[in-house]
Amino acid sequence: MKRIGPSWLRLGFLLLAVLAFTCVSPQVPAEWRVLDPRMHHLGDNETPEWKEAPAAPEPSPLAIRFESQANAREWLLEVTARDVDNDWVLELNGRELAPLKKVNDEFLTGLYPVPAGRFVDGANELTVRAKGDPNDDLSVGRVRLCASSLREVAHLGRVLVRVTDKASGEALPARLTVADSSGRLVDLYYAERPTTAVRPGIAYTQDGTATLEVPAGTVHVWASRGMEWSAAEQVLEVGYAKEARVAFSLEREVDTRGWVAADTHIHTLTFSGHGDASVEERMLTLAGEGIELAIATDHNHQTDYRPYQQKLALSPWFTPVVGNEVTTDNGHMNAFPLDPAQPIPPHEETDWKKLVSGIRARGAQVVILNHPRWPEDGKDPLTKFGFDEQTGKNAAGQEFTFDCIELVNSDCPTAPTKLVLPAWYALLEAGKRFTGVGASDSHAVGVIVGQGRTYVPSATDDPAQIDVAAACRAFKEGRVSVSLGMFATIEIAGKGMGESVQASGEELEALVTVRHPSWVTPRKLELVVNGAVAKTVALDDGLTGDTKTAKQRHVRFAVPATRDSWVVAVAEGDKVSAPFWAMNVPEALALTNPIDVRR
């Protein structure tokens, strides 16, 4: 009989391992064992509203001791927690096991695989420890152990995904979204690698490929890449211990030649200290959502994305800019560009003129007043200074010397654009030309970076070669357009945003173009003159020349004969609720900056 050599044996075992996932018969999970039935309150504040745990906190870290056998294969821990805002980790026998899954003021029961060899025969200890602020209040407990793998307990199947550019056939950074038939995001397992950013139902991929494991059943899988691109969906039947493959081909739908997409308000957990997106994950989300000019604005920190972008081979996809969300007691202001090696701007100053002067002294060319109507309940910066929406003045006498004002903040549903616009209109009526901008204010992987964005004129369409100084001038001169799912431009007598037109009569004609992806439905267009709607036209009436991604309207409107005026175009569309781009705010929007009409 011919003997089989060691190399052939190794190859055989390797093939068996590769086939094991799909060939092995599913195993019946072992019984769950309760290690700790209680919920524990960690932190430093009384929480009488938390009925599941003592109101008074107990000392941190929390240690749960139990007896066990050593595990020769993967086992599974189950831990319930609520209100996990900051970084907490699970440690097993003195070694970090996994981050505690983050959750807001609700309960989340998380599953945590324990690799073979992490339990020992006899006494074991599971610890919940703060990596950051140990005074962060949370409740945690109800710990159970199962001597089976996550794949067995959750009945997982594997989904292999590939996303390509329809035009070139090349791999494309993208967002993958997985939901069940009701639209609820599905937990994704074993998807983490250096080139993905993964959250429940969401995976951003640097190279267009991802391997996701999901509970067996029917799932809807989307591939998307921000508002300039198509979105594709496939419905899959995923079998337990089976494998499914899906390929998506996305195409650019929105014509933005001569413009680049900017997000002027972006955060990371790494440097802002809250949210959940590490700086590496932020690079993946920026590329996956098609942001081309990315302004880093961590709180009172000057973050340079370039080393992280280069490490992940994402330099071709966007131009990074160092900025800072100068965070004060009276309001927040984004400032850019800044030098990451230089001191941060003074943020203790309460006089806005001196504050902005100090920011500019650090080199910032653009200063933006962020979310001017947040926090709510009269705590927003404009209310603090007694701002009057009728006159555009403020009772506190503070001089506004910033350059731009944030009109769209896609992660601020309590202060939507419709609440901000009257203040902007009042400022314009008072002769203060603060450029309107849009941004996302994303702190988390699941909060879509660039959902609110600003379109900036650019001499190049290469996202890696954007002229930052020219972009800054466009912001200051009002030549940019505000976007939330749509992109609008306006011309009057050949003049565009930030320019002026001389008028002799009492009627003018504007040419407004509204571009949008096929999955956003525009409904109406308003021309606003001097703060009042002068003309409303439909965008959903299917005129000749309309396409599935662009609407163009010639709109005649009246202007006063006795004064100078300003004209803004505002387009509205249906709210996107599909899981791949679900919006927190009431409607899709596009807003132009003003064209001035001179007499």
Residue 7, in any domain of the structure: no
Residue 24, in any domain of the structure: no
395 and 440, same domain (yes or no) = yes
385 and 264, same domain (yes or no) = yes
pLDDT for 13 beyond 70:
no
pLDDT for 456 beyond 80:
yes
Q: Residue 428's domain spans which residues?
A: 253-478
Count of the separate structural domains present in the chain = 4
Q: How far is CA 234 from CA 198, 247, 493, in A?
A: 19, 9, 46
165 alpha carbon, distance to own chain's centre: 22
268 and 232, same domain (yes or no) = no
327 and 431, same domain (yes or no) = yes
pLDDT for 105 beyond 80:
no
Residue 207, in any domain of the structure: yes
pLDDT for 205 beyond 60:
yes
Amino acid 30: pLDDT: 86
Amino acid 279: pLDDT: 97
pLDDT for 10 beyond 90:
no
From 151, 171, 201, the end of a domain falls on: 151
268 and 280, same domain (yes or no) = yes
**Residues of the chain above pLDDT 70, percent:** 95
Residue 598 contacts by C-beta under 8 Å, 6 or more apart in sequence? 500, 501, 502, 503, 564
For the domain that residue 273 is a member of, what is the CATH number? 3.20.20.140
Give yes or no for a contact between 193 and 208, defined as CB atoms under 8 angstroms apart: no
For the question of whether the overall pTM of this predicted structure is more than 0.85, the answer is: yes
* Per-residue pLDDT tens over the stretch 117-158: 999 999 999 999 998 778 889 999 999 999 999 999 999 999
From 116, 151, 186, the end of a domain falls on: 151
Q: Report the sign of the C-alpha dihedral through residues 556, 561, 563, 564, in that order.
A: positive
184 and 101, same domain (yes or no) = no
Residue 489 contacts by C-beta under 8 Å, 6 or more apart in sequence? 481, 496, 497, 512, 513, 592
From 434, 458, 478, the end of a domain falls on: 478
Q: Which residue has the tokens 């199947």?
A: 157
Residue 43, in any domain of the structure: yes
369 and 463, same domain (yes or no) = yes
Amino acid 337: pLDDT: 98
Residue 2, in any domain of the structure: no
Residue 110 contacts by C-beta under 8 Å, 6 or more apart in sequence? 78, 79, 80, 81, 100, 101
* Per-residue pLDDT tens over the stretch 327-366: 999 899 999 999 999 999 999 999 999 999 999 999 999 9
429 and 576, same domain (yes or no) = no
Amino acid 8: pLDDT: 38
Q: What φ, ψ does residue 54 adopt, rounded to 5°? A: -60, 145
232 and 329, same domain (yes or no) = no
453 and 367, same domain (yes or no) = yes
419 and 291, same domain (yes or no) = yes
Q: Which residue has the tokens 């992109």?
A: 487
273 and 318, same domain (yes or no) = yes
Among residues 42, 276, 275, the alpha carbon closest in space to that of 137 is found at: 42
Residue 435, in any domain of the structure: yes
Q: Report the sign of the C-alpha dihedral through residues 211, 217, 223, 224, in that order.
A: negative
For the domain that residue 581 is a member of, what is the CATH number? 2.60.40.10
User: Could you give the CA distance from residue 292 to residue 450 in angstroms, rounded to a whole number?
Assistant: 10
Amino acid 127: pLDDT: 98
pLDDT for 16 beyond 80:
no
Give yes or no for a contact between 584 and 489, defined as CB atoms under 8 angstroms apart: no
Amino acid 26: pLDDT: 64
Among residues 401, 423, 381, 428, the alpha carbon closest in space to that of 335 is found at: 401
118-122, 158-162, 271-275, 584-588 — which is least confidently predicted?
Answer: 271-275
Residue 5, in any domain of the structure: no
* Per-residue pLDDT tens over the stretch 568-578: 999 999 999 99
Residue 27, in any domain of the structure: no
Q: Is the peptide bond before 375 cis (omega within 30 degrees of 0)?
A: yes
